[in-house]
Amino acid sequence: MHRLWRVIRRHLAPLTVVVGGASGLVSPIAAQEARGDTLTLTAILDSAALQNRLVPRELGGYRARLESEISLGNRRAEGMEMSLSIEQVASTLTWDRTGRYMQQVTGYRTQAIATNISSLGLFRGGWAIPSLYGNRLALLFGRDTSTSWQRRSRMQGRDPLYAIHPLGDERERTYRFRGGDVVQTVRTAGREIPVRRIEVTPRRGLSKGTVVFVGSIDLDATRWQIVRLRGHFAQVGERDDRNLISRGSGFEGIAYIEAVNAEVDGRFWLPAYQRFEVQAASSMAGEGRAIVRIVTRFLDRQILPTPPDVVVGAPSDTLEIRPFRLALGPPDSVSAYREWMTEIGTMTAETSAEDFADVAPDRFNPRGPPRARIETERLSDSYRLDRVQGVFLGTGAVLRFRDAAPGLTLRAAGGWAFAEQTGRGRMVIEQRRGRDQLALRLQRSLDITNDFRNPYDSGSVLGALFGRDEYDYVDRRTASVQYLRLIGVRQRVQFRAEVGVARDGMVERNVQSSPFRSQTPFRQNRPVSTGTYRRTMIAMDANPDVALEFLRPGFGARLHYERGDGELTYQRAEARLTARANRGGLMYAARLDLGVTSPDAPPQQLFELGRQQNLPGYDYKEFAGDQAAVLRGAVAWMTPWMRAPVLVTPRIWLPPVAPTLSLGLQSGWTRASNATPLATVTALGSTESDHPRTSASLTLRVFGGAVGVGIARTLDRPGPTRWFLEFGQRY
C-alpha cells in the first residue's frame, strides 16, 4: 500500500494552470477572416493560445462550492471494479486572476471496507483546477528528484513538476496537433456554439523528463477558449518510453484527466466537472489495476471583482506561480455539515476505468505494434498459500498482437506447489472484437468448492498463514472454449458461455498447520468425486461490481447454469440479487442467493453453509444439501458525532472516528430432496438445516466502518453470544 501511494503521489493528475503573457494582440483567425482565407489549424491554435494565455478582462475571480468523491480501489482483469474506500468531501474554492487560490474543506464523510488513512493529507495542495488559463499545468505531488532538489526542498519546500500546456508558448516545440473540425454544437441561452476538437501528441526528441499532455482539447469556436481537456500525462525519455513509470517500484502509474468547463454569463468558460484518475499496474497483477479516482462537481459559483491591487491589461496582470494549500474548516463545523447534494458513492458509481480506454497510453492501448510482457492475469498466479499446495510460486507471459492481428492475445502462466509437489498453470488464446471475446483455455487449477462467495474471493493467503484456511478444494483440469459478450451503454451486463471437457480430482492436506499456530492443525480437505465430464455453462451478470461486500451503490443480479455429462453428471443453477444504497446517514444492503443442483450430483457440486459461508454463529459448513437459499441484510447508521478527519501529522490524516452502528441479519436454509443427496450430505459430515437458520450481529464501527467490535448470536436456537473484533466489513 505504501508503494502504491508513492506512485500516486508522483503521478496524480494536474492541479492548476499558471503563467500568463502579454495582451492587446490581434487574433490570427480574425486576420484570416478579414482576408477571406480558409480557416487553418495553425490559426485556430494561435488564436486559442492567445485567448488562454490571459484571464478574460471581465473575470476578477470567483468563489464556488464543490462536492467531490475520492475513491481508492482496484479493477480485476475481467473488468470488475471494487472500492476499498470512498470519501465524500464538500469544499469551498476561492480563486482570482492573479493565481491566488484556496480550497477549504467544509464537510466530510467516508465509508471503507479496509483500514486506511484519509487521502486529505496527501492532497495538501487541493485537487480542483480553478481555471485552464495559462501556459503550464502543475502536477499534483510532482517534484524533481535530483540531489539539488533535495537540498532546495529542505530550505524552501517542494517545487512542483510542470506539464507543458498544449496552448502554451512552448507548444510548437513540444506537441504535434491534428483535427480542428467541429465535433458538436452546444446550445445555451438561445445561442449555438460550435465546438472544435484538436488531438494532441508529443513530438519525438524531447528532453528526458519532459512532462507532456496526450489527448484532446475541445474549443469554443466563437471565443477560442477551452471547453474540455481530456487525456493523460506522460514523462518522456523514461525507460522503454513508458508513461509516468515509478522507477524501481514495479508499478506503472498512468494519470488521466477530464476537465469540463461551462459557459458563465455568456462571457467565459469556468470549471463545471473534473475527474482525475491514477491507474497503477504491476506485471504481477496483469491487467488488474489499482485505481485512485477523484470526481468533482462545481455546484454554484459567485463571480468576484478584480482585486484592487490589479490593473487589468497591465504587464503585471498575469497568473503567477503561488503556493496552494488545502485547508480544513473547524472540526465542529465539518462534523455538522448536512448540505450534501448527492449520496456518498453516487458520483463514482457510474464511472469505470474503461472510460479512458480511447486515450490510454501504450501499456493499456489495444493499438500499436505487437507487445510481449512478463505478466500474469491475477496476483494468485504469482503467489498463493493454502493447506493443499503449501507455497505456490509462479509467473506468466503475454503476447498482444495489437495492430498485427487486432484483438488477438496469447497468454501463458505456470507455477509450482512446493508442499504438493505439483505444477499448475494455463494457456489461453483470446480474440476480442468490439464487445465480443472468444477464448480457448487449457488449464490445471486448484478450484475452491465453497458456495455463494463474494466475487473477489479467490482464497486467503493471510488466513492460511495464521491457521484459518476456511476453504475446500478440487484439482480441476479443463479444456474449453469460452464466449463473452458485454452489453449496455457502459457494458455493465456480461453474458458468458462455455463448452469444454473437465476432470475433477481429489486433493489432500499437505501442510499440517500454519507457522504461527503450529499447535492447531489444519482441517482435512472435504471429499470430492473423481471423474471426467463434458462441461457446459451459461451465465448472465448485471452490475457484477455491486455486491454486499463492496461500496458501490446500486442493484446487481446474476443467473448461472452449468451441467456435467460423463463420469460426473449433474445440473446446477444459481441466482443472486444484490442491493446497496445510502440515504443520509443510513446505509442499506441486502443479498439473496438461491441454488439448486441434481440430487445425484457429486459432493463438490452440493451447497454448503456455515460459519465462513454466510452463517456466522454456526460450525464450519454445518449444513449442506442439493437445494439452498441464503438471505443477508444490513442497516448501518453513522452517528452525527466526530465526523471530521483526525490530523496526526501534516501528511497523515486518519478517517473520522464517526461511530457507526450496524445491524446484520443472516438466514440460510439447505435441503436434501431425497435419500441420495442426504447420504452425500452425511458423508461430508454435514446435516440438512431442516428450517431457516438465522443469526444476527450488532457492531459498533469506527473510521468509516473499517474497524468494528460487536456481538453475534443465533436466533433460531439457544446459543452463546459471541464477541468479535474485525478489520473490514462483513455482513
Domain boundaries, the chain: 2-337
pTM here is 0.83
Model pLDDT, residue 40: 86
- Is residue 221 within 8 Å of 189, Cβ to Cβ? no
Dist. CA 12–CA 161, nearest whole Å? 11
Residues in Cβ contact with 729 at an 8 Å cutoff, skipping those fewer than 6 apart: 112, 113, 549, 701, 705, 706, 708
User: 3-state class of 195 per DSSP?
Assistant: strand
531 has pLDDT over 90? yes
Q: What crossing angle do the helices spanning 28-35 and 41-53 adopt, rounded to 10°? A: 140
Dist. CA 502–CA 485, nearest whole Å? 23
Sign of the torsion angle spanned by Cα atoms 585, 631, 711, 451: negative
Q: Where is pLDDT greater, at 281 or 529?
A: 529
Residue length of the chain: 731
Q: What DSSP element (H or E) covers 271?
A: strand 268-282
246 has pLDDT over 50? no
Model pLDDT, residue 449: 94
The full 3-state SS of 286-314, as one line of letters, equals: CCCEEEEEEEEEEEEEEEECCCCCCCCCC
pLDDT band at 53 (very low <50, low <70, confident <90, very high): confident
DSSP 8-state class, residue 254:
E
30 has pLDDT over 70? no
Dist. CA 304–CA 63, nearest whole Å? 7
- Is residue 108 within 8 Å of 123, Cβ to Cβ? no
Residues in Cβ contact with 634 at an 8 Å cutoff, skipping those fewer than 6 apart: 548, 587, 588, 589, 590, 662, 663, 664, 665, 731
pLDDT band at 678 (very low <50, low <70, confident <90, very high): very high
Dist. CA 617–CA 634, nearest whole Å? 16
Model pLDDT, residue 188: 76
Which of the residue ranges 115-124, 289-298, 635-644 would you say has the lowest mean pLDDT? 115-124
455 has pLDDT over 80? no
Cα–Cα separations (whole angstroms), residue 716 to 52, 364, 610, 620, 634 = 70, 52, 14, 17, 18
Task: At 122, give phi and psi (nearest 5°).
Answer: -90, -15
Residue at 675: amino acid letter? A
Residue at 582: amino acid letter? N
- On the CB side of 471, CA atoms within 13 Å amount to 23
- Is residue 536 within 8 Å of 502, Cβ to Cβ? no
Cell representation of residue 304: 468576484
Cell representation of residue 140: 499534483
The full 3-state SS of 59-118, as one line of letters, equals: CCEEEEEEEEEEEEEEECCCCCEEEEEEEEEEEEEEEECCCCEEEEEEEEEEEECCCCCE
pLDDT band at 21 (very low <50, low <70, confident <90, very high): very low
**Site of grid cell 479444456:** 479
- Is residue 540 within 8 Å of 559, Cβ to Cβ? yes
Cell representation of residue 558: 446474476
Percentage of the residues of the chain whose pLDDT score is greater than 90: 44
Q: Where is pLDDT greater, at 160 or 582?
A: 582
pLDDT band at 4 (very low <50, low <70, confident <90, very high): very low
Cα–Cα separations (whole angstroms), residue 255 to 44, 68, 233, 285, 490 = 27, 18, 6, 18, 21
Cell representation of residue 566: 460423463
Model pLDDT, residue 159: 44
Residues in Cβ contact with 448 at an 8 Å cutoff, skipping those fewer than 6 apart: 457, 458, 459, 471, 472, 473
Cell representation of residue 648: 496526526
Which of the residue ranges 107-121, 156-170, 271-285, 678-692 would you say has the lowest mean pLDDT? 156-170
Residues in Cβ contact with 618 at an 8 Å cutoff, skipping those fewer than 6 apart: 609, 610, 611, 693, 695, 714
Average pLDDT estimate for 668-685: 95
- Mean residue pLDDT across the chain: 83
251 has pLDDT over 90? no
- Is residue 305 within 8 Å of 96, Cβ to Cβ? no
Dist. CA 649–CA 654, nearest whole Å? 10
70 has pLDDT over 60? yes
Percentage of the residues of the chain whose pLDDT score is greater than 70: 85
Dist. CA 36–CA 476, nearest whole Å? 74
Residues paired with residue 372 on neighbouring β-strands, in sequence order:
399
Q: Where is pLDDT greater, at 318 or 83?
A: 83
First vs last C-alpha separation in the chain: 25
